[in-house]
Chains A and B, each alone.
Chain A
């Protein structure tokens, strides 16, 4: 293979994509950087809307607000040295072309080096009533606040098994929401067991978590630990979430909005379309793309950040830098940087995430307990009972793509992003097979819906 000549292409301007771009720019390249959003930042470090800017210190804390302002100014400068394409949706990859829709118009970008760094979203387990208006993901609750300067409700319950619970709750509390309850469904014993490993792998990140807990206590946010989520109640929208406390007591927490999440789920569709192989991670109990230690996943393909392996913001940035170094080496270029040190750091932070995952455990056991009438796939309105019936039927499938074909679960607009995890567990629990053998939903283009007329204005085909 001859040396790459085209500008490197980076999908996703979150911490990983931006760090990769910075390293490439430093080496004298002008990468193409694109993001679905109008502004850089990604999800965890999503920029505040103009309406939120006057409250930046209140929202982020003074020290972090200053740091953020400095970082964003650097990012803005970086963007001027990239071929920056905001508002660009990458919907497919075929051979050496990235297919995008930018401002409603189709375009096709040829590449010989591609970094996919499209992040992660909340991992969801279906719950009776979870499709009622007023139910959000934890990430969605953060977007509402950061981008739309709005709370998801006036009486909010944040629930699940996720470290994001505490961050999202602290952000809502800082902006003045009084009526806020955190229901942490993870077991305190699990957290105690995982704590030592977490302290050892990333003491700084662990300390941040403790500070958040202390802050929530100080702000008087009610926190319920070790409870189980039973259902979301409401006629036309959320009116309460019913939980079972660790001592067995059932309580309906009155609220007008609920935010749910059970850790993170990597966005792997683009990587898969680009040819990455996925492997099952038994600790995180989920599928991740295979890469080398620098994030390389193919001749022309690199992966970084949470879409490669859950690791958080700092690991994302460092993995973006590592990928950039590997891309440069493949071009016969180098920049002075200590790749070995970066590798150790990324590894350490990802180990931290793995330990955190054993504290905030993915509640796989809940799939077996889901009432039959629970909607699993909200796009296509497929119920748990329908999926069970399909799996149990004679000549029925015990592989999730076949379950999808027969029940339509995962066939809709979201392409299984929201239901895929429940579907895997439900297929496994119904068939009695281990979850890794029932497979995962295969990626199919377009990874997001694209308007038919986008093709009309395109050329260069």
Chain B
């Protein structure tokens, strides 16, 4: 074994979790290698809505989320590149009574965690969001929520990692992972075998197989939301706008395109590599847009897409040490919220691997929570076709 093929840590998966973990490890002086089957950020890290949403997270997730938002706010200093971060603010609106209740609950949670939230009803709602259909009952606005371009963020982080001395191996499809005498050996098609005492499983929608190999089976499944984009129109809508009922998530890029996402999500194909968008979901989304923002009726949809995202039944990721194998760490299952928390996931994991106390307590994200029956998130039934 030559020196060049041995590392301090090997990261499987060049998504945002993997690349941020690699970046923070490399910055702390570790020799790291990120192995990516295709290209960095090509799956859910690159195909998501790009929302850096703070509103509507569960109470236990706020510490991680807020730590992550700080990194997004200073992304250019962190990575040396722009990811089109835009602190555009975010609106939740409700158009049902149940939605109104949930919105008020979310607002209280957000405020308790230190977020500034404005609540608008009646005349204030019409004045602030005049383009919203009259069926809207209430809205909450969070100015610190933001967006970024998911397509450019991961490559930027990967380059920063390389700049800090990390290695990136793209087009390396890992076929074999062995663990012997405290050393992991990873081999794949398109790359020479490499070894390290630490292995980080950040394989996104495919992380379940790797965890299982080390005796840690988790109920991970792959799915993706239907998304579409309209032609560019004059830039008029600054904040991201989420119907709290989940039927419409919409934002306008500064270059003019409206981007839509919505629930329910669709399970990925059996091959696990693609999520097709059934046309009826695109049509439902178009109806939701036309219903909630009637001025967009005449806009044209020009492209639909989805991605392969890893979900867990409680809609929280797994971040932390594995329980069966010393040196094994996990970071996967972003459950539709992984993009925003990714910098903090990487930072915390890097601390943990280096033997330091992470800045945020990772207990809520422990893989051990699946050892006993866990409570499925109320989001699970609402946001998926069937599980």
Query: By the criterion CB–CB under 8 Å, are B300 and A452 in contact?
Result: yes
Give the Cβ gap from A403 to chain B, nearest Cβ, in Å. 10
CA distance A449 to B229 in the complex (A): 10
Per-residue B-contact encoding for A425-461, CB less than 8 Å = 1, 0 else: 0000000000000000000111001111111101001
Q: Tell me, in angstroms, the Cα distance from A399 to B168 when the chains sit together.
A: 17
- With the chains together, A396 CA to B301 CA distance in Å? 29
Q: Which residue among B277, B299, B302 has the maximum number of chain A CB atoms within 10 Å of its CB?
A: B302
Q: Contact between A397 and B303 (Cβ–Cβ < 8 Å)?
A: no
- Residue pair B305, A444 in contact (C-beta under 8 Å): yes
Known A-B contacts A395-B158, A395-B159, A405-B42; A450 and B301 likewise in contact (beta carbons under 8 Å): yes
Q: How far is the CA of A454 from the CA of B155 in the complex (A)?
A: 37
Tell me which of B177-185, B189-197, B281-289, B355-363 binds A: B281-289
Given A395-B162, A445-B304, A452-B301, A406 and B155 contact (CB-CB distance below 8 Å): yes
A207 to B237, CA, bound (A): 60
Task: Give bound CA distance, A461 to B303, whole Å.
Answer: 21
Cβ–Cβ contact A458 & B283, under 8 A:
yes
User: Which of B25-33, B130-138, B290-298 participates in binding chain A?
Assistant: B290-298
Q: Mark B146-159, 1 if CB is under 8 A from A, else 0.
A: 00000110010011
- Judge whether B279 and A451 touch: CB under 8 Å: no
A94 CB-CB contact with B under 8 Å:
yes
Looking at the complex, which of A42-50, A246-254, A410-418 is the stretch in contact with chain B?
A410-418
| Beta-carbon nearest neighbor of A399 in chain B | B39
Please state if B301 and A92 are interface contacts (CB–CB under 8 Å). Answer: no
State which residues 382-415 of A face B: CB under 8 Å. 393-397, 399, 402, 405-406, 411-413, 415
Tell me, yes or no, whether B280 is within 8 Å of chain A by CB: yes
Contacts A395-B159, A455-B286, A455-B287 given; indicate if A444 touches B304 (C-beta within 8 A): yes
Residue B254 is within 8 A (CB to CB) of chain A in the complex: no
With beta carbons under 8 angstroms apart, the residue of B230, B280, B297 that contacts A453 is B297
> In the complex, how many angstroms separate the beta carbon of A112 from the nearest chain B beta carbon?
18
Interface residues of A in 145-194 (CB under 8 A from B): none
Q: Confirm or deny: A108 has a beta carbon within 8 angstroms of a beta carbon on chain B.
A: yes
Q: Which residues of A contact B152 (CB under 8 A)?
A: 406
Q: Per DSSP, are chain A's interface residues mostly helix, strand or loop, or mixed?
A: loop
Given contacts A405-B42, A452-B297, contact A412 B302 (CB under 8 A): yes
Contact partners of B168 in chain A: CB under 8 A: 395
What CA separation (Å) do A458 and B46 show in the bound complex?
A: 32
Q: CA A55 – CA B150 in complex, angstroms?
A: 56
Q: Are A446 and B304 in contact (CB under 8 A)?
A: yes
B385 sits at the interface (CB 8 A): no
B279 engages A99 (CB within 8 Å):
yes
A4 to B286 alpha-carbon distance, docked (Å): 32
- B154 nearest CB across to chain A (Å): 9
**Which of B276, B279, B303 has the most chain A CB atoms inside 10 A of its CB?**
B279
* 8 Å CB contact of B302 from A405, A449, A453, A454: A449
A200-243 interface (Cβ within 8 A of B)? none
B231 sits at the interface (CB 8 A): yes
Interface centre among A395, A405, A461, by most chain B C-beta atoms within 10 angstroms, is A395
Give the size category of A's interface with B: 20 to 34
**Of all chain A residues, which has the CB nearest B154?**
A395
User: What A residues does B279 contact at CB under 8 A?
Assistant: 92, 94, 97, 99, 108, 445
* A123 is an interface residue with CB less than 8 A from chain B: no
Q: CB distance A451 to B304 under 8 Å? A: no
Query: Is the beta-carbon distance between A455 and B283 smaller than 8 angstroms?
Result: yes
User: Is residue B278 contacting chain A, with contact meaning CB distance below 8 A?
Assistant: yes
B170 interfacial contact with A, CB 8 Å: yes
How far does the Cβ of A440 sit from chain B's closest Cβ, in whole Å? 16
Is A85 an interface residue, CB under 8 A from the partner? no
B contact residues around A412 at 8 Å (CB): 231, 302
Task: For the complex, give the distance between the alpha carbons of A455 and B159 in Å.
Answer: 43
Chain A residues closer than 8 Å to B276, beta-carbon distance: 94
Q: How far is the CA of A459 from the CA of B232 in the complex (A)?
A: 28
CB distance from A249 to the nearest CB of B (A): 42
Chain B residues closer than 8 Å to A458, beta-carbon distance: 283
Distance between Cα atoms of A108 and B283 in the complex (Å): 11
Q: Are A456 and B155 interface neighbours, CB within 8 A?
A: no
Please, which residues of chain B bring their CB within 8 A of the CB of A396? 155
Contact among B155, B290, B304 for A452, CB-based, below 8 A: B290
A413 to B257, CA, bound (A): 11
Residue A106 interfacial (CB < 8 Å):
yes
Contact A453 to B39, CB < 8 A, known contacts A94-B278, A415-B303: no
Q: Chain B residues with Cβ under 8 A from A402's Cβ?
A: 39, 42
B230–A452 CB distance below 8 A: yes
> In the complex the two chains form, what is the Cα distance from A456 to B282 in whole Å?
12
A413 to B290, alpha carbons, bound, how many Å? Answer: 20
Contacts of A92 in B (CB 8 A): 279, 282
CB distance from B49 to the nearest CB of A (A): 14
Nearest A residue to B300 by beta-carbon distance? A449
Nearest-CB residue, chain B, relative to A405? B151
B23 within 8 A of A: no
Q: Judge whether B40 is part of the interface by a CB distance below 8 angstroms.
A: yes
A458: nearest residue on chain B (CB-CB)?
B283
Q: List A62-113 residues whose CB lies under 8 Å from chain B.
A: 92, 94, 97, 99, 106, 108
26 contacts between A and B (CB under 8 A): A92-B279, A393-B155, A395-B158, A396-B155, A397-B39, A405-B151, A406-B155, A411-B229, A412-B302, A415-B303, A444-B305, A445-B303, A446-B282, A449-B231, A450-B286, A450-B300, A451-B297, A451-B298, A452-B296, A453-B286, A453-B297, A453-B298, A455-B287, A455-B290, A456-B287, A461-B283
Chain B residues at the A interface, C-beta cutoff of 8 Å: 38-40, 42, 46, 151-152, 155, 158-159, 162, 168, 170, 229-231, 276-280, 282-284, 286-287, 289-290, 296-305
Give me 18 other A-B pairs in contact (C-beta within 8 A), A99-B279, A449-B302, A451-B297 excluded. A97-B279, A108-B279, A399-B38, A399-B39, A405-B151, A411-B229, A444-B305, A446-B302, A449-B231, A451-B301, A452-B286, A452-B296, A452-B298, A453-B286, A453-B297, A455-B287, A456-B290, A461-B280
